[in-house]
Amino acid sequence: MFFKLVFVLSLVLMISGADSINIGIGIGGQDSSAVCNGVHGAVSGDTCSTVAQEFGLSLQDFMNINPNINCDVIFVGQWLCVDGSA
């Protein structure tokens, strides 16, 4: 029980600390000014398309705020930006 509490509190701290993340340099060294204001922890079955749709984003907007994502390999628990600008 104690470890579950510690785990949940750790997740809350990580999420609350992810208010705004500057993505920095994009793929191929291209300058990326993407800023992330909200994240989603991937769950089993998530794809780029389903996450984008769930959060009301076009696939292109989703890709722009997640410049280093590989849509062929999304793993459970991976942080995906779902609110931001590029």
Condensed to tens digits (0 to 9), the pLDDT of residues 64-84 reads 999 999 999 999 999 999 999
pTM of the full structure: 0.62
Query: How many domains in the chain?
Result: 1
Condensed to tens digits (0 to 9), the pLDDT of residues 28-55 reads 555 567 899 999 999 999 999 999 999 9
- 3-state class (DSSP) for residue 21: strand
Q: Residue 31: beta bridge partners?
A: 25
* Rounded Cα–Cα distance for residues 11 and 13 (Å): 5
pLDDT of 62 strictly over 90: yes
Give me the CATH number covering residue 55: 3.10.350.10
* Rounded Cα–Cα distance for residues 86 and 34 (Å): 4
Q: Which domain holds residue 72?
A: 2-85
